Structure 1
Amino acid sequence: MERGFLDEDFTRISVTQNSLQELKEILDQWNEENPAYSCFTLGKVDLVPTVEEYMALLWCAKIQVDKVYSRAINPPTFLKKLMNIIGISEQWVTTRIKQKRDNKCISWRNLKDVVLKHLDMKKRVDVFALSIYGLVIFPKALGHVNEAVTDLFDRLDKGFTPVLAILAETFRSLNACRRAGEGRFIGCAQLLLAWFHSHFWKVDKVSYRVFSGSYFLLKEVVATPMRDDISMEKWIAILQNLQEEDVE
């Protein structure tokens, strides 16, 4: 492609595009056997949470984004991590560790006692934060905090961002439910709901400023009364009939 500017000057542009055929053939072979990134398909619109959106919703923008959490190669034992976080004797922790299927965990009932009664206020806050990660963000075993959560929590104060781990767990759980055609979503349902609302909530046809530093969507979701007068079938019908212009 050539474009003359003056009699003697010209610019030559080479336009080359990669062929997508082989990629499409591989995708067709995989069919439904692999995770889909279109977590929610509404008419012709595919929606999927992004790293940037989850960072904004969690107010994690100030955390070092280049330090992505991944499980340590030789992490301390579950016992040692709990002792470090809780600040209680080895005997107390040992007698309260349980085995749930393939994972070690500790019950919220035990952690609640620490939150309410620990003499060190910082430890109270740390254990409360650990409980939020274990019960809300990564709810593996109901009523218990999983061993893997303590590994992530142990590294948060070192500047590692948990956003990608949260997002990956969301994709993994949604894909597992999709494959089975049913199942319990294992992840932060509240965060997923807030993300979902961010694409549909509108005031006078103007979207909320979700990425504004002064606007906290999670607080908005919590403060908004949940509709309990609409059946599941009705919600399904509402979502199935959404138009492209309804999705921000």
Structure 2
Amino acid sequence: MENEFLNKVEDNAVVRMWSEKMQLEKGDSLAKGYMSELCDFIRISVTQNEFRELRDIWACSDDETKQLFYQNYGDLPYLLDIKVDKHLFQAMAQFWNSVYSCFTFGKVDLVLTVEEYTTLLRCLKVQVDKTYSRAANIPTFVKKLMSITRMSEQWVIARIQQKGDGKCIPWVSLRDLIVAHPDVKKKVDVFALSIYGLVIFPKALRHIDEAVADLFDRLDKRVTPVLIILAETFKSLSACRRAGEGRFIGCAQLLLGWLHSHF
């Protein structure tokens, strides 16, 4: 059944060729003689973290804790209940136009916008005009985690791991901290950090990446994370399109939520 589905999807390559042909004829940013280096078909993976533990923690939280979370981080937990349909995602990826960073469906281009993603993020606290940017002099990963968790330097250092070219902290360490932390505010902060690391920016499975901690550390300044979320989405889709395969490491839940809002 799956192979039959994918064989039908392969025909969508004609959409990309039509799009590039029209761009050349209309005289826009594609140079004369442009030759596409993109493959005809993407085999994209949407391997996800397991959210059962996150859902269980949220379900067991009392009303006071939930209200505190809503006030500070919006209604992010709804993302935990969005089931990612890998076949739908595979089909959608075939329509990604890397040149213009949009989806081309027939003669219609659909663009992911800041306004739409701000709505999907469901957080009234962020301000669209306060864009996140990585500061020149930022605290170390250890210091950022100490600030977020209110745990000792020794506790943090003992749990940091190296994953590929970056540092991470395992989800299991944060899970145990959420369950046992005596400070409700810190419970909420660590739970929110976990959603950002496991759902919105799932680069390292079952780990929270250092870059996520840096962004999260700035959210209390009411900056918007939407531009970074969109940039990661564009970057990951285009990388998979160029290679013809790969794992999508953006937020699949938000992307599918956006797609459903248009259809």
Give TM-score, length-normalised by structure 1.
Answer: 0.68
Equivalent of 1:52, from 94, 99, 115?
115
TM alignment of 1:152-231, pairs within 5 A: 152-200=215-263
Decide whether the 8 Å contact of 1:60 with 1:161 is kept in 2.
no
Over 3 Å counting, the alpha-carbon distance change for 1:165 and 1:27 in structure 2 is farther
**More divergent stretch after superposition (116-125 vs 29-38):** 29-38
Residue 124, structure 1, aligned to residue 187, structure 2: yes
Match 2:204 to one of 117, 120, 141: 141
Q: Could you say if the C-alpha distance between residues 187 and 27 of structure 1 is closer, same or farther in structure 2, counting changes exceeding 3 Å?
A: farther
Asked if structure 1 preserves the Cα contact closer than 8 Å seen for 2:101 and 2:234, the reply is no
Tell me which protein shows more helix as a share of its residues.
2
Structure 2 residue aligned with 1:113: 176
1:80-138 alpha-carbon deviations (Å, 9 max, x no partner): 00001001111111010000011000000000001100011110100000000000001
- Of structures 1 and 2, the one with the larger relative CO (CA 8 A, separation 6+) is 2
Instruction: Quote the RMSD (CA, aligned, Å).
Output: 2.0
Task: Name segments (4+ residues, structure 1) moved above 4 Å.
Answer: 27-34
Gaps spanning 5+ residues in structure 1: where? 1-19, 201-248
Stretch moving more, 191-200 or 31-40: 31-40
Count, aligned residues: 180
* DSSP 3-state at the match of 1:74: coil
For residues 155-188 of structure 1, what are the alpha-carbon distances to aligned partners after superposition, in whole Å with 9 as ceiling and x for unaligned? 0010111010001100000001111111111011
Q: What TM-score do the two structures reach when normalised by structure 2?
A: 0.64
Corresponding residue for 2:102?
Answer: 39
2:23 equivalent in structure 1:
none
Structure 2 unmatched runs, 5+: 1-25, 39-96
Deviation at 1:62, TM superposition (A): 5.0
Percent identity of equivalent pairs: 69
The answer on 1:95 being equivalent to 2:158 is yes
Q: Residue in 2 aligned with 1:205?
A: none
Contact 2:98–2:241 (CA under 8 A) maintained in structure 1: no
Compare CA radii of gyration and give the structure with the larger one: 1
- Report the Cα distance in structure 2 between the residues aligned to 1:44 and 1:127, rounded to whole angstroms: 45
Equivalent position SS for 1:160: coil
